[in-house]
C-alpha cells in the first residue's frame, strides 16, 4: 500500500450514515399514541431520527447513481463507478476512492429507487413544515408503512431501511404495534393497507412466513 492509498482510506473514514431507528422507540411511540397521548419529545426524537436516516438514504442512493457527496462540505463529486478511481472534493480537498466510499454504504440497507425516494422526500418536506404532533405522527406512520415498488406491485417494506432489524423481524414488529380507540385517526387503516402490500409481496416471493392476516386485532 502506498502512502496515497492510506490517505484515501482515511477520507472514507469520515463518512457517516445515520443509523436506523431502534424498535423500542417506535414501540413507545405507538403505545403512547394508542392512549391518546402526544408525547412531543418522543415524536420529535423518532421523527428527526427518521429524517436523518432518509437524508443518509438519499445521499447514498445519489452516490450509487454517480454523484457522491463530500462528507465534509457536501460538494457533489461525480464518478464513473471505477472502484480504484479517486474521488477528490473541489470544495475542500477531501479525497477517497469510489471503492472505499462504496464500502461504507454496503450492508446498511441504504439502497433503493423511486418511489421510495419520493416517499422519503415527501416525508422530509412534510416533517420540516409540520406544526402539530398529530400531523407529525401521521407523517411518521405513513413513512414507516410505505413500500418499495416494482412494475408488478409492492416489494420490500421501507421499514427495513428505517428501523433496525432483519426484514422478518421488522415486519413482525410493525404488525404487532399497539393500537387503541384513542390512536391517531387513520393509522389503523394504514396498517391494513400495509398488510395487504406485505401479502402481495409475500405472495409473489412465495414466502408464507411473511404473510399477515388482515382485518384483525
Q: Which of 36, 66, 91, 186 binds Zn ion (CB under 5 A)?
A: 91
Q: Is 37 in the site for Zn ion (CB under 5 A)?
A: no
Among candidate residues 178, 213, 177, the one with its CA nearest the CA of residue 196: 213
Q: Is 73 in the site for Zn ion (CB under 5 A)?
A: yes
Q: Is 92 or 118 the residue whose CB approaches Zn ion more closely? A: 92
Alpha carbons 74 and 62: distance in angstroms, whole number: 12
Q: Is 60 in the site for Zn ion (CB under 5 A)?
A: no
Rg (the chain; Cα; Å): 19
211 touches 198 (CB < 8 A): yes
Q: Which of 87, 89, 143, 160 binds Zn ion (CB under 5 A)?
A: 89
Q: Is 72 in the site for Zn ion (CB under 5 A)?
A: yes
Alpha carbons 19 and 165: distance in angstroms, whole number: 11
Q: Is 96 or 161 the residue whose CB approaches Zn ion more closely? A: 96
87 touches 93 (CB < 8 A): no
- Cell 433503493 belongs to residue: 112
Q: How many CB atoms lie within 10 A of CB 75?
A: 13
Q: Is 70 in the site for Zn ion (CB under 5 A)?
A: yes
Q: Which stretch binds Zn ion (CB under 5 A): 45-53, 81-89, 96-104, 160-168?
A: 81-89
Q: Is 93 or 186 the residue whose CB approaches Zn ion more closely? A: 93
Positions touching Zn ion (CB under 5 A) are: 70, 72-73, 75, 89, 91-92, 94
Amino acid at each position: 500500500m502506498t502512502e496515497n492509498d492510506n490517505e484515501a482510506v482515511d477520507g472514507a473514514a469520515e463518512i457517516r450514515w445515520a443509523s436506523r431507528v431502534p424498535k423500542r422507540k417506535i414501540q413507545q411511540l405507538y403505545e403512547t399514541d394508542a392512549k391518546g397521548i402526544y408525547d412531543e419529545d418522543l415524536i420529535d426524537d423518532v421523527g428527526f431520527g427518521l429524517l436523518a436516516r432518509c437524508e443518509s438514504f438519499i445521499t447514498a442512493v445519489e452516490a450509487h447513481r454517480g454523484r457522491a457527496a463530500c462528507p465534509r462540505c457536501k460538494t457533489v463529486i461525480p464518478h464513473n463507478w471505477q472502484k480504484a478511481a479517486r474521488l477528490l472534493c473541489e470544495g475542500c480537498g477531501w479525497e477517497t476512492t469510489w471503492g472505499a466510499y462504496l464500502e461504507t454504504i454496503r450492508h446498511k440497507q441504504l439502497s433503493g429507487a423511486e418511489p421510495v425516494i419520493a416517499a422519503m422526500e415527501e416525508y422530509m418536506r412534510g416533517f420540516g413544515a409540520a406544526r402539530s404532533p398529530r400531523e407529525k405522527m401521521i407523517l411518521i406512520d405513513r413513512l414507516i408503512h410505505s413500500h418499495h415498488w416494482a412494475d408488478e406491485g409492492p416489494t420490500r417494506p421501507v421499514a427495513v431501511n428505517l428501523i433496525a432489524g432483519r426484514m422478518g423481524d421488522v415486519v413482525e414488529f410493525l404488525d404487532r404495534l399497539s393500537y387503541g380507540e384513542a390512536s391517531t385517526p387513520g393509522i389503523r387503516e394504514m396498517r391494513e393497507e400495509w398488510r395487504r402490500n406485505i401479502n402481495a409481496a409475500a405472495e409473489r416471493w412465495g414466502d408464507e412466513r411473511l404473510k399477515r392476516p388482515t382485518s384483525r386485532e
